[in-house]
Structure 1
């Protein structure tokens, strides 16, 4: 609902397909943030430390997502390779830019005062440095694929920590606290005149 209000107030690209894409990207980003925080929560045991770690990861992704610094201006080691390509913000930004600018033209004037038109594709390619080799739907598909990957990663981490906790609690338990069953077998032959005892 807030997305629908702001979309039309801001005067973004009219048409149901453009708004539908906008809503899908917002929903995918919400799911990605939730999935990422689930992974952080499964690794970090402390609630406050989990929030701090999750916010730190989000901050790194936002910084190198291609909005605050254009892709060609991002420092190459670590920031562009691999963080720029790992950050889901890159695909959300570029998908939303393509959704808004492709198929549009804008009036432009050069230094001599001559007016001409500037295409949205030119703005995307030369000003925003958006990768134009694939469509906005591919950006959305990458976001959905990242959601699935994060959820599977969360499941793997949960199952692995479950097994580790079971093993560590078993070994950490003192020997006298472990459950021990003593069974008496009345039908067996007594060895020294008494009943035989089986300890399990």
Structure 2
């Protein structure tokens, strides 16, 4: 309908690219769900992670317009949306020609539209974008495996460390209270009742 590339190879690349992108998002959500204590916090943190990754892609601004520090290097390289969108743009627009904005002008090539309008670099092919997306998927799966394997042991170590610090704090508080009580007894000695004989009693 929009005069993009027809044919099975382009459709297959689109499906594989979309599947890898969804798999990376699913793995991110599983990592977040493994670390947060409840559902509401998981929804909030997971949405924040996805939006953070999308901010460094071509969804909001072209890559050349992103600040080079942090957002372009390195966030745009670890963002799944960057590689997925670049691969989808190249898959659909390279090799096509579009009608010009003004009648009589020469037709616009898809490569020109990618470079000038979307800021997509053509230094590598769409298959490298797909390979980078697959690498991100494997990395996220490895992180998920490490989280699931070592989460309980790390949490138990943190709980043990917290319990030791709490016990030491309580023991220090008890010792300080004991020292204060003993010092108060030394400074305010109690006289026996025999020494108080002969004192006037307020009761007649």
The number of equivalent residue pairs is 163
- Distance in 2, Cα, partners of 1:86 & 1:169: 32
Residues 154/119 of structure 1: CA separation in 2 closer, same or farther (3 Å cut): same
2:151 aligned with 1:152: no
Change (3 A) 1:12 1:104: closer
Deviation at 1:146, TM superposition (A): 0.8
Name the structure where strand makes up a greater proportion of residues.
1
State whether residues 66 and 84 of structure 1, in contact with CA within 8 Å, keep that contact through their aligned partners in structure 2.
Answer: no
Which among 111, 120, 128 is matched to residue 130 of structure 1?
A: 120
**Comparing both structures, which one devotes a greater share of its residues to helix?**
2
Consecutive unaligned residues of structure 1, counting only runs of 5 or more, are 1-8, 173-200
Query: In 2, Cα distance between the equivalents of 1:16 and 1:60?
Result: 33
Query: Which whole-Å CA distance do the structure 1 matches of 2:56 and 2:3 have between them?
Result: 28
Per mean C-alpha deviation after superposition, the further-off stretch among 49-58 and 38-47 is: 38-47
1:33–1:109: structure 2 CA closer, same or farther, 3 Å change rule? closer
Deviation, 1:67, is 2.0
Instruction: Answer with 113-122 or 47-56: which moved more.
Output: 113-122
Report deviation, 1:57. Answer: 0.8
Q: What is the match of residue 92 of structure 1?
A: 84
User: How far off is 1:169 after superposition?
Assistant: 6.8
Measured against aligned partners, the alpha-carbon deviations of 1:62-105 in whole angstroms (never above 9, x if no partner) come to: 12212211112222332222222221101011100000111111
More off after superposition, 115-124 vs 23-32: 115-124
Q: Cα RMSD between the aligned structures? A: 2.2
TM-score, length of structure 2 as denominator length: 0.72
Alignment of 1:43-54 (within 5 A): 43-54=35-46
Q: Is the 8 A contact 2:87 2:126 kept in 1?
A: yes
Cα shift readout 1:143-200 (whole Å, capped 9, x = no counterpart): 111111001011112222122245567786xxxxxxxxxxxxxxxxxxxxxxxxxxxx
Alpha-carbon distance in structure 2 between the residues aligned to 1:20 and 1:104:
18
Taking the aligned partners of 2:77 and 2:154, their CA distance within structure 1 comes to 32
Q: State the partner residue of 2:131.
A: 141
Cα deviation code 1:31-78 (max 9, x no counterpart): 011111111112222221111001001111112212211112222332
- Output the CA distance in 1 between the equivalents of 2:132 and 2:101: 37
